[in-house]
Chains A and B, each alone.
Chain A
Amino acid sequence: MSGPRDITFTLNGRPAAATVKPGETLVDVLTNQFDLTGARESCAQGLCGCCTVLVDGDAVSGCLYMAWFADGAEINTIEGLADGNTLHPIQEAFLEAGAFQCGFCTPGFILMTKKLLEAHPDPDDDVIRHFLVGNLCRCAAYPEIVAAVKLAARRLRDAG
């Protein structure tokens, strides 16, 4: 029976390697081996979106994603979104709209918003709420989050 195995992948644009135990989740590997704490396990069941990570461009729940499956993949986390010290327009929009209180869920919301706006550049309330239905904000900043998504959408469209 095999124990840990070595995997290599691209992490926020840079080559990365990790030794991963059987059944270890992607969010645990990112936290424990790379000190990336933006994706964090909260509900542990894929419901809340706090552990959102992009794998080959698709959003997944890092708490249910076996890290072994990340071998050879392109992984992107919230930590790779800003360009140096310049925040991504979605991050700016969340700040300006005050779309959080404690901020625990914010990385997941921002990564999901990135995917949302790639698919729907000009989303209405229904589209936004439906796409983000699997992200929970226990501070209930939902009205501000919807406003932030619209603000980000407008800025990204204007930037063309």
Chain B
Amino acid sequence: MKNFDLEEPESLAEALALLDEDDSAVRPIGGGTALMLMMKAQFFEPTRLVSLRKVGGALGGIDLSEDGSSLRVGAGTTFTQLQQSPLVQKHLPVIGRVMKTLANVRVRNVATVGGNLAHGDPHLDLPPVWMALDAAVDVVGPSGERRLAVADLFQGYYETSLADGEVITALYAPLVEDRRAAYAKVTTRASHDWPALGVAVSLVPDGDVIADIRIVLGAALDMPTRLTAAENVLRGQPAGDDLLATAGETAAEEVDIESDHRGSAGYKNHLLKIYLGRVVRELMGR
């Protein structure tokens, strides 16, 4: 590996000062599990890494807002901390279920919530789930602080709307009464492969009717993508088999899935139709 510098600032202000808005070879690093893979492959050659792991407070903690309407997750939270948090277990049980098939204990001990989002890798499991939960992130940089929906963070294949010099500081997940959420991860060879596709759904049932729903497709496109046409088919309707089949057809039509070594476009479209139905049925208790 080429020489580079590592800084380990102990405050967010110091970290921001060490980043460089004009140099994409200067990057923040959380746990580093994803960046190290890119560095080992000489795909990313940094001149300076600014480690966020000693920043502490500003990037840590998992807290319920005072009115109980949202959960704040510090960007430096590791997946193990997320998984073990009683607040997350109580308010966002879907996260614990996603963790069961996300990487392994060792990676979860190190990888962070913020790094996972900033990486912009379309195959990751959590970003589509955060999108289905309508989560937002706080971002801090040279031009101040802004909050944006996780949906607006992703711009393309490994591309995000984060500017050089910006850091994700926290994630906010709104807590909605009676909302249920689930994620189906579909791998086509071994279970630890990158998924061929992932389907994240959150919905609010009203008896047999789907009062509200968000559907996000992961892994099969260049970024996690909300399937609004399929949502519109299902919203306000009872989740019958015919309607779910129509929603599956609509979902496959509203995106342009390409073939790759995880499966042909036709196969992945078929998986999308099947798994969308399965996830919605599971959430509606049918």
Q: Which residue of A lies closest to B33 (CB)?
A: A64
Known: A22-B4, A44-B40. A60 touches B32 (CB 8 A): no
Known: A1-B47, A65-B110. A49 touches B104 (CB 8 A): yes
A25 to B37, CA, bound (A): 11
The answer to whether A52 has its CB under 8 Å from any CB of chain B is yes
Residues of chain A within 8 A (CB-CB) of B51 are: 69
Assess the A68–B6 pair: CB atoms within 8 A: yes
The answer to whether B214 has its CB under 8 Å from any CB of chain A is no
Interface residues of B in 1-46 (CB under 8 A from A): 1-6, 32-33, 36-37, 39-40
Residues of chain B within 8 A (CB-CB) of A5 are: 6
Interface residues of B in 43-93 (CB under 8 A from A): 47-48, 51, 53, 80
- The listed residue with most A CB atoms (<10 A of its CB), out of B3, B6, B53, B105, is B105
The answer to whether B192 has its CB under 8 Å from any CB of chain A is yes
The answer to whether B109 has its CB under 8 Å from any CB of chain A is yes
Q: Which residue of B lies closest to A3 (CB)?
A: B3
Assess the A23–B4 pair: CB atoms within 8 A: yes
The answer to whether B106 has its CB under 8 Å from any CB of chain A is yes
The answer to whether B283 has its CB under 8 Å from any CB of chain A is no
Assess the A49–B1 pair: CB atoms within 8 A: no
Q: Scoring A residues 79 to 122 as 1 if CB is less than 8 Å from chain B, else 0, what string do you get?
A: 00000000000000000000000000000000010010000000
Q: Is the interface of A mostly helix, strand, loop or mixed?
A: loop
Residues of chain A within 8 A (CB-CB) of B4 are: 1-2, 22-23
Name B residues whose Cβ lies closer than 8 Å to a Cβ of A: 1-6, 32-33, 36-37, 39-40, 47-48, 51, 53, 80, 100, 103-107, 109-110, 191-192
Known pairs A23-B1, A59-B105 / 19 extra A-B pairs, C-beta < 8 Å: A1-B5, A1-B48, A5-B6, A22-B3, A22-B5, A22-B6, A25-B36, A44-B40, A46-B103, A46-B106, A52-B106, A60-B106, A61-B33, A61-B106, A64-B33, A66-B32, A69-B32, A134-B104, A134-B105
Instruction: List 22 A–B pairs whose Cβ atoms lie within 8 Å, in order of A's numbering.
Output: A2-B3, A2-B5, A21-B1, A22-B2, A22-B3, A22-B4, A23-B1, A23-B39, A25-B40, A46-B37, A46-B103, A46-B107, A60-B110, A61-B110, A64-B37, A66-B6, A66-B32, A68-B6, A69-B32, A130-B100, A134-B107, A134-B192
Name A residues whose Cβ lies closer than 8 Å to a Cβ of B: 1-3, 5, 21-25, 44-47, 49, 52, 58-61, 64-66, 68-69, 112, 115, 130-131, 133-135
